[in-house]
Every structure is written in structure tokens, then in C-alpha cells.
Structure 1
Amino acid sequence: MPAKAWAWCLYDFANSAFPTIVSTFVIATYFTSAVAPSPVEGQAMWGWMQALAGVAIGILSPILGAVADAGGRRRALLALFTVLTALASAAIWFVHPRAEDALAALLLIGIATVSFELGTVFYNAMLPTVAPTEKMGRISGIGWGIGYIGGLLCLGVSLVVLLKPDPAPFGLDRGAAEHVRATALLVGAWILAFGWPVLLAVPDPREKPPVSQAIREGLRGIRDTLRQLPHQPVLGRFLLARLFYTDGLNTLFAFGAIYAAGRFGMKVEEILLFGILLNVTAGAGAFAGGWLEDRLGSRRTVLASLAAIILIGIALLMVESRTMFWVLGGGLGIFFGPAQAASRTLMARLAPPDQAAGWFGLFALSGRVTGFIGPSLLALATTLFASQVAGMAVVLGLLGLGALLLLRVRAA
């Protein structure tokens, strides 16, 4: 595999610290259990924050993607949003375990979430640059797998260095949750430390015109891309299907740790161990899925993964045993990586290379334009039924709808 492909994959290693530590296993749990007034209210508040972030991402991603295509500034925009993600994540250190800090926490996490997702638009658009068509599935899968390894290692460092020792290291005050808040500083440093090689190794596709011209051409590019949709039925159907199943995947992944903490009373350390298990199984699934995808095809890989996630998800909502939750949760992780990596590969294979960022802007839009629906439905169901199970059950319906729509996509 060429050096630029390894550099591209390493960015997944860097960036995975954010969804792993902040969005899922540590900071999300810290917010709902220590900052929000109660776990149920915390899950609802987190859901509304994710919904608002999804609206912002849905609006901005196609615009910025088209501007990047027109202006040849993918690296600059990737660098900008990478730094914003790192800084906003690190600033969560200042969120204390008290209800009056809840809004500040949601603001910082919202900024980091939007920056993270916008950065992935330009990162994903680089895939055709670093991989030939026949190897896209494998390299995309390796990227996801390396990303899970990065998340796993960051979780391990958090657990061994910051969360497990008692007394806490470096003079951190456990009473003020400084040992938990310090994981946000680790995320910021991790992203900056490992995210830069792709900026050096993967060149922009062409010369850079003036910014004003790039904006004008980019907005024109959005119009042209949208006009192409009626003439690209396969792409259109795929984006529609992804609109629903990605919303379900994102919501399921974002709220899994919150659900475990509230339903089973898991503490931060136990959540981290569960996160390590998920990253191990998800990483293995991503590596295997990338190899399998180049042989079976991206569409079949996504469909098989979604079917498995739905079946295991139903079982997870029914169990009351922690042991079974661990067993089924580990099995669930195996199918997350292939579903996500194969979707990215299918988009890269279908999109014209010279318009990749613009189409990946729509790709991000298709994962976020209804990004408010999953968290909103989850928050609404959780509030109405005062039950975390009810909230999570709604998410499985989105996965099922996306899978049904994907059945209508026929692509080589």
C-alpha cells in the first residue's frame, strides 16, 4: 500500500478519538450521569444537541464540499476543522460536574461534533486520490480498522493512565471529576498528534483559484450536482437509503454508552472496558469487511451488516443481564465497521473523481439532513415513556427503513 494511503488511514487513527471518548464512552456518560440533572434528562438533552448539530452539518457539508472541489482546498479545510475539533474537545476540561455547566458542555460538544463531521467530508473525498478503484474497499476498510485501533488505544490510555488509578495521577481531583475531564484534553492532543501526515502526503487535486472565485464556483457546483441527481438514479437511491440507515447507526453508536450507564448502572471505568471490547470487535469487522467487500460488493456488505445489527439490537433491548449485554454488544460491534466503510467505498466508486468532495458533501448531507430525526425521536420517546429502552427501540426502525430502501439500489 503506498505511503499516501497509509497517511490517509492514519487520519482515521487520529480522529477516532473524538467519537470514541467524547461522543460515546466517556464524556457522553459523564454528561448524563454527572452534569445533567438526571440520566433520563441527560439523554434527552444530548439528543436535542445532536439533532441541532445534524441540522448545521446538513446545511454546511454540501456547500463546503462544493467549494473545496472548485477551489482545490481540501487540505486547508481538513486542517481547519481538525484543529477546531481538537480545541473544542479539549475545552470540555472546563465543564464541571454541576447542572449549571450543562449548556456550556452541550455548546462545546456541538461545535466539536459539527467540526468533526465537516472534516470527514474532505477526508472521505481524498479516497479516490489514494486508492485505485479495485482496491478502494480494502483501503477504506483498513482505514476504518485503523480508526478502531486508534479509538481502542485512546480508550486504553484513558483507562490505565487517567481513570483507573486511585488516587488520580498528576494531582487530579476525583471529587471534581478532573480525572474524567482530563480525557477531553487527551482527545485534543491525540487528534493533533496523529492527524497531520495526511495533510503532507495527499495533495490537492489542482491549482487553487482565489477564494471568492472558489465560493462562486462551489455554489454553482452544488446547483449542478443537484441537477445531476435525476440523471443519477443509482446515486440518488443510495443517498436516500443512507439518509435513514446512517442516522440510525449514528444514533445507536452515540447513545449506546448512555443507555448502558442508565439501564445497567455502569460506571465510567466499566463503560470504558465495554468500549474497548466494541473497538476490538469493530476493528476486526472493518478489516475483514474491507477484504470481503472487494469480493462481494459494497451493497451486499452494507445490507448484511444492517440485518445483523438490527437482529442483535432487538436482542440487546430485551436482555436484563449485564453478561448478555456484553456478549451481544461485542457481536454488534463486528458489523459497525463494514456498514460504514462499505458505504464510503460505494460512494467513492459511484461519484465522478473530479467532483468527489461535492458528492461527499451530499454523502454527509444524506447522513445528517435527517440527523436530527434519530436523536429527536429518541429524545421524544425517552421523554414520553420515561424509558431509555423506548428511545433506543425507535432507532432500530430507522435502520430497517434504510435497509429496505437499499434493496432498491442496483449497482455493480
Structure 2
Amino acid sequence: MAKQRMSKAEKSWIMYDVGNSALVLLATSIIPIYFKSLADGPALVAWSYGETIASLVVALLMPVLGSIADMRGMKKKFIVGTVATGVVATVALGLPTEPIAFLVIYIVSSVMLNSSMVFYDALLVDATSDERMDEISSQGYAWGYIGSVVPFVVCLAVVLMRDSLGLALQTAMQIAFVITAAWWVGFTIPMLRNVEQTHYKPLQERAVAKAVGGIGSTLKRIWADRQLRFFILSYFFYIDGVHTIIKLSTSYGSDLGIDGTQLVLALLVTQFVAFPSAIAYGKLGTRLGTKTMLQVGIAGYTFITFFAAFFLHTAAEFWFLAIMVGLFQGGIQALSRSEFGKLCPKDHANEYFGFFDIFGKYAAIMGTFIVGTMTALTGNGSLGVASLAVLFAIGFVFMARVPGAKQEA
């Protein structure tokens, strides 16, 4: 059987992952290190709580905004609003010289990025079919990883060569933030032009009030569906651990005394490893089953957690850890997104993805709080990282209880 070529809508949908991933990569590498230079001391606790606040804001907003976005023509309007605000906040990150002011602006940028991703994820059901969701979702993550490297390398060169260029660190970071924001905008445009919202609810009066009132009903519908119930419970725990590792890796490594340049270059390797791994994960998910591959990913991240907590001391060990993360990161994210897209009702995709993205998609609430609190109480970041294994263990148990493939009505 001949392989089906991707449509313009599918390609354009994938391109948004390329655009927003530039900020994601910057936020997990250079930005925490820059924040540490502003804070002039250990930054893991403050950075952990900042990430927690950003995640909580998204968690409170998305069920309501997601329900409204399910209405006719609303998905792309919300994408335009969140991307525009996020781009402005990203450029503004180059202005503060005080750590608290910088953290506040970063929280705004992070909230807008994560919010736009909710609407983007929900647009997957409009861009492709159920049969192609695993492949298209995996392609999105894969090209997001490799595509984000292009602006990141430019930003990294500006920051590392700032002395030769006669630039202060703040000026170099200002240039990096502008480049990242421009990349985000450029790769958003094709999706806005070529992907149409084909699944929607009719426009309603008093949309906000009805959306707030409907949150309970949506949760009841999710809970009543046994397959969705156990899947979302599993996802709630394991993806929080995944994104905690993504968010705090450079801050943790920096506090261990690993050179900042080594940290950034190692995470760059993660992007290259994640590109083929995400595509391979999508193919294996189709062949072996999404559930099986998700369990493999959870087990892989459990190993990563213990290695980071008890064996990570040198730059070489951080490089090994970065490669391991690259093997599992894109796959577990992509298959989680596509599986949920197949399970949820298409005309309520945003509403359902609003809850889905509370538990993940660059949001880490429990994990960052656990790491920050354990580190503050014990003075040992390794104990905080080790505690993340509990999240993966619970996620694995719930995934094992997810029933087989959903039957067509």
C-alpha cells in the first residue's frame, strides 16, 4: 500500500510545532542559566515556584477558554491572541535587570505559550484523521525538535560570542529573545492560513458563563468513559514528571556546578536525538500499540530520574542523560497527544484538550513543587529529583488499567 502524502493542512499544522519549539528550547536551556546570573545565587527554588505559578494559571484558564474555543471559528482567534501576547512578553524578557521582574515577565510568556499549545493540540482533530493522528502528532514533535535548533544555534552563538561582538550579556540575550519571537511568529502564519476548524459547537450567548457551568459536566463525561478516565489519570502523573525534568534540568545541573556551556550543548544534542526517535515512536505505536509504547516511555523516564538523582555529577554524565531524554521525550509526548485526540469527541476537542493540557504540555505543577519544596527543606536537590519516581510509578499503574482500543459506536 502506497504511503499517503501529507496534506497542506497537516504540513501547516506541523509547522507551528517548529515555531513555538524555539521558545521551549530557549526556556529549558539558556533562560534558566540567565536567570541564575540575575539572581546571583542558587536559583532552583525560585525557578521551580515560577514554573509552578505559570502552570497553575494555565490550569485555571484552559477548561473555560477551551470550551469557548470549541465554538465555530474560535480556535484560531485564541491562537492569534495567545501568540501575539506571548511574542510581546518574549521580547520584553530582555528588559529587566532584577530577577523578580524577569520571572514575572517569563511567567506571562510561559502562560501564553502553553495556552496557545492547548488550542494548537485541539486543532489536530481538524488537520488530520484518526488513522493518521499518531504519525502527524509524532511528525509535529520531531520537526519541532530539529526546527527549533536553527534559531537556537544563532541565539547561542550570539550569547557565547558576545565578548568578541562587543556585547554585554543583557544585550546578547535581548537579541536572542527577538530572534526567538520572530521565529515563533513566522511559523504560526501557515497554520492560520491553511488549517480550518471543521469540528465545532454552534456559537452560544453567554459563552463564558456556560463554559464555567459546563466544566463539571465535562469532567463527569471524562470520568464516565473508563478508557478516558484511566488514560487521563495516568497522563496526569507521568507527564508532570516528564515536563518537570524538561523544565528544571539546566537549573539542576547549574546548581551541581556543571558549566553552563556544557549544559546548553548537551540539550542541543537532545534535540537531534529526539528528531528520529519521535518519528520512530509514532511508527512503533502504530505497530505495537500506543499503550505499550507509552509504558516503555514511562519506564525509560523512571531510569532517567534515578540516574539524575544519584549518578549525575559531571558534564559527561549530563550528556548521557540528555541523550536518554531525547530517546523518550518526543515519543511519549506525541503518542499521548494523538491517543487523547482519538479518544475525545471531535466537536468538544478544545474543551477536552483544556483538561488534557492542564496535566501536561510544558506544564509541570506537582513535579516542580515537589522538587522545589524537597530542595528547600533538605538542601539537597537530588532528593527532590528522586521523588519524581513516584509520579512515574503511579502513571505506569494507571496506564496498565487502560482498556483496549475504543470501539466505534
Q: Calculate the TM-score normalised by the size of structure 2.
A: 0.92
Match of 1:9 among 7, 11, 14: 14
Give the match's secondary structure for 2:70.
Answer: helix
| Structure 1 residues 172 and 292: alpha-carbon distance in aligned structure 2, compared to 1, 3 A threshold | same
Give the match's secondary structure for 1:374.
Answer: helix
State how far apart, in whole Å, the 2-side matches of 1:92 and 1:211 are: 38
- 1:109 deviates by 1.0
Aligned pairs (5 A) from 1:298-317: 298-317=290-309
Match of 1:356 among 349, 355, 361: 349
Larger CA deviation: 221-230 vs 334-343: 221-230
State how far apart, in whole Å, the 1-side matches of 2:338 and 2:350 are: 14
State how far apart, in whole Å, the 2-side matches of 1:189 and 1:367 are: 25
Q: Is the 8 A contact 1:135 1:294 kept in 2?
A: no
Aligned residue type for 1:124: D
Give the match's secondary structure for 2:71.
Answer: helix
User: Which residue of structure 2 lines up, in the alignment, with residue 30 of structure 1?
Assistant: 34
1:164 partnered with 2:160: yes
Aligned pairs (5 A) from 1:246-325: 246-267=239-260, 269-317=261-309, 318-325=311-318
Aligned pairs (5 A) from 1:206-285: 212-267=205-260, 269-285=261-277
Match of 2:329 among 333, 336, 339: 336
1:376 partnered with 2:380: no
State how far apart, in whole Å, the 1-side matches of 2:215 and 2:113 are: 21
- 1:89 deviates by 1.2
Aligned pairs (5 A) from 1:67-106: 67-96=68-97, 101-106=98-103
Aligned residue type for 2:163: P
Match of 2:382 among 389, 394, 400: 389
Give the match's secondary structure for 1:72.
Answer: coil
User: Which residue of structure 1 lines up, in the alignment, with residue 3 of structure 2?
Assistant: none
Larger CA deviation: 106-115 vs 366-375: 366-375
User: Which residue of structure 1 lines up, in the alignment, with residue 67 of structure 2?
Assistant: 66
State how far apart, in whole Å, the 1-side matches of 2:312 and 2:48 are: 23
User: Which residue of structure 1 lines up, in the alignment, with residue 132 of structure 2?
Assistant: 135
Mark the runs of 5 or more structure 1 residues left unpaired by the alignment: none
| Structure 1 residues 181 and 411: alpha-carbon distance in aligned structure 2, compared to 1, 3 A threshold | farther
Cα deviations by residue, 1:33-77 (Å, 9 ceiling, x for unpaired):
x111412xx110111111112221111111111111134300000
1:196 partnered with 2:196: no
Larger CA deviation: 219-228 vs 197-206: 219-228
- 1:396 deviates by 2.7
Q: Is the 8 A contact 2:78 2:119 kept in 1?
A: yes
| Structure 1 residues 14 and 368: alpha-carbon distance in aligned structure 2, compared to 1, 3 A threshold | closer
State how far apart, in whole Å, the 1-side matches of 2:287 and 2:324 are: 23
Aligned residue type for 2:190: P
Match of 1:186 among 156, 179, 194: 179
Q: Is the 8 A contact 1:13 1:146 kept in 2?
A: yes
Q: Calculate the TM-score normalised by the size of structure 1.
A: 0.91
Q: Is the 8 A contact 1:61 1:118 kept in 2?
A: yes
State how far apart, in whole Å, the 1-side matches of 2:312 and 2:168 are: 36
Q: Is the 8 A contact 1:71 1:214 kept in 2?
A: no
- 1:380 deviates by 0.9
State how far apart, in whole Å, the 2-side matches of 1:73 and 1:53 are: 23
Cα deviations by residue, 1:211-252 (Å, 9 ceiling, x for unpaired):
744334434543432231332111111111111111111111
Give the match's secondary structure for 1:129.
Answer: helix
Cα deviations by residue, 1:188-227 (Å, 9 ceiling, x for unpaired):
1111121111111111236896674433443454343223
Identity across matched positions, percent: 27
State how far apart, in whole Å, the 1-side matches of 2:15 and 2:41 are: 38
Cα deviations by residue, 1:139-187 (Å, 9 ceiling, x for unpaired):
1000000110122222211123x12325353x5224xx32234322222
Aligned residue type for 1:401: I
- 1:357 deviates by 0.8
| Structure 1 residues 200 and 120: alpha-carbon distance in aligned structure 2, compared to 1, 3 A threshold | same
| Structure 1 residues 207 and 297: alpha-carbon distance in aligned structure 2, compared to 1, 3 A threshold | closer
The Cα RMSD (Å) is: 2.1
| Structure 1 residues 386 and 212: alpha-carbon distance in aligned structure 2, compared to 1, 3 A threshold | same
Give the match's secondary structure for 1:70.
Answer: coil
Aligned length: 399
